[in-house]
Each structure stands twice: as C-alpha cells, then as structure tokens.
Amino acid sequence: MAQAAVSEGNVLGWAKTDKRRMLHVVYRVGNLDKTIKFYTECLGMKLLRRRDIPEESYANAFLGYGPEDSHFVVELTYNYGVDKYDIGTGFGHFGIAVEDVAKTVDLVKAKGGKVTREPGPVKGGKTVIAFIEDPDGYKFELLERGPTPEPLCQVMLRVGDLDRSIKFYEKAFGMELLRKRDNPDYKYTIAMMGYGPEDKSAVLELTYNYGVMEYDKGNGYAQVNSQPFPKRVLLYFRGIFKFQVSLRMVLSETFLALHRAYSTQLVSTKT
C-alpha cells in the first residue's frame, strides 16, 4: 500500500491547534508506603488515588498538588518483590516550586530526609534553590517562587544533542521552546520546553553537558503522559529516556516520518 509523503513542515500539524498539557510522570519505587509518606509529609503532596493489581503483581499510587484533571501528578509504581532500581544518568530531577525553600529543607531534615544541596542561589542566577532526594534516590529541586497553580513544575532530562532534542519535542509532541540558556562557565546548556508558561504549567528541562553524548537510562525510568490523544505509543528516545504519550488519530505516515527522522523505536501498547 502506497504511503503519502509527509514533509517535516506538516508532521503532526494537530499540535499547533490542539490543547495539550503534561498529565503525569511515572516511575518505579521500592517501597510504596514509605514514598507516599515522604511525599505527603515532606513535600506537601496529596494522595489522589491508589490501586493494587495483584494479578499483575504491581501496585501504584497517584500523588500531586491538585486533581488529576487539572494538575501534573506523579504515578508511583511498585512491582511486587522489587525493592531497588537503577535510576540511571539520563533522568536528572523533578522540580517543585515552594514559597520558602529553607523551611521545606528544614522539614525534610526533621523527617529524616536527605538534602544534597543546601538552600542558596542557583549558579549564575538569583533564584534560591535546594536539592533533596526521596527514599529511592530520585532527586527533587526545590525552587523558591511565589504562589503557583502548578507546584510540580519541572522534569529535567539530560540529552546528548540539544538541538536535535528540541526539534524532536517540537515536531513530535507540539511543545514550544520557552527559553534556552548557555552556561559556558559550567559547561552546560539548558532548554525549557512545554505547553505553557513556566510559572503556570509543568515543563521539561533538557540539559546538555558539553561533550557528553550518551547516558544510561537505568530501569527506574520516568514516563511522561501528555493529553489528550486516544491512541498510545511508547517512544524510546535515543536510548536515554522513555516517554508515554498519546497521539491523535492516524499515526502511520506522520509518526513513521518522525521515526525515520529522529531514530526512535516505536512500540505499541494497550489503550
């Protein structure tokens, strides 16, 4: 069957007009109850729902700062009998906006949490930040900001080719490049991408470290789900990070074009 030619300019044209947002990020944890306790008591998240799937030997929990239909949330997955995962180096951290970083850090310490960077200005900037780790070693950056409708505000990924990655997220997922900043003194460049302003919606922070072309994705991967498309696929983006997205209507010609252009691997999943 002949396939219609698809140019780079019209690939997934729906992205320019459709309303989209990041729904949730999925990752594996070794102790679900312990992680829920840390997120609710230290980070102020709410347990939105929890389910156990004994026939498939796993359980998961959804946590966030508001309802799933309007907020970006985390989906924690616990696989029966597995208490440890390799996070890898491709995943960097999650970002959470708080009004008082020092106060949050004190709470984390009081609850026995791990602080890996004390509160202070970001390198080359003025924003006060701190870094903490959850019980499984996933890192969270605390960013001092005013009130925001989306406190769970960032997912940071490390990439080996920043320009290629920016183009991929623009073409495949319809994200916008919100800003890009080079930091030659510290030998890295970042690009912020998303579906809306950083202070009002969750965004991706893509980080390129000078000269580093590959990263280990590990097996505790994070998986980002975007809305509102009925058919699901898994994309293994250059062997670094795994994303689950939903794509509207017919995927054949348009997505195959992206598959060829960006060297991704396409794997169908259940809807």
Structure tokens at 151: 């406190």
Among the listed residues 150, 154, 127, the one whose alpha carbon sits nearest the alpha carbon of residue 140: 154
State which residues form the domain around 118: 8-268
Task: Assess if residue 2 is contained within a domain.
Answer: no
According to DSSP, the residues that pair with 154 across neighbouring strands are: 95, 203
Domains of the chain: total:
1
User: What's residue 17's pLDDT?
Assistant: 53
The answer to the question of whether 93 is labelled as a binding residue is yes
How far is residue 25's CA from residue 132's CA, in Å, rounded to a whole number? 18
pLDDT tens string for the chain (271 positions)?
A: 444 444 444 445 544 555 678 888 999 999 999 999 999 999 999 999 999 999 999 999 999 999 998 999 999 999 999 999 999 999 999 999 999 999 999 999 999 899 999 999 988 788 999 999 999 999 999 999 999 999 999 999 999 999 999 998 898 888 999 999 999 999 999 999 999 999 999 999 999 999 999 998 888 855 566 654 434 334 433 333 334 333 333 333 444 455 455 544 334 333 3
Residue 93 domain-assigned? yes
Check whether 99 is labelled as a binding-site residue. Answer: no
Q: Does residue 3 form part of some domain?
A: no
Give me the pLDDT at residue 247, please.
36
Q: Which sequence positions are flagged as catalytic?
A: 141
262/87 Cα distance (integer angstroms) = 24
Return d(Cα 178, Cα 176) in angstroms, integer. 6
Tell me whether residue 198 is annotated as binding.
no
Examine residue 151 and state whether it is found in any structural domain, yes or no: yes
The CATH number for 17's domain is 3.10.180.10
Does residue 1 form part of some domain? no
Instruction: Give the residue among 267, 259, 243, 266 at the shortest CA–CA distance from 175.
Output: 243
Q: What is the pLDDT of residue 265?
A: 39
CA nearest to 38, candidates 9, 61, 17, 18? 61
Query: Could you give phi then psi for residue 12, rounded to 5 degrees?
Result: 50, 55
E strand segments, 197-230: 203-209, 223-227
Could you give the CA distance from residue 38 to residue 235 in angstroms, rounded to a whole number? Answer: 30
How far, in Å, CA of 26 to CA of 210, rounded?
A: 28
Preceding omega of 228 cis (within 30 degrees of 0): yes
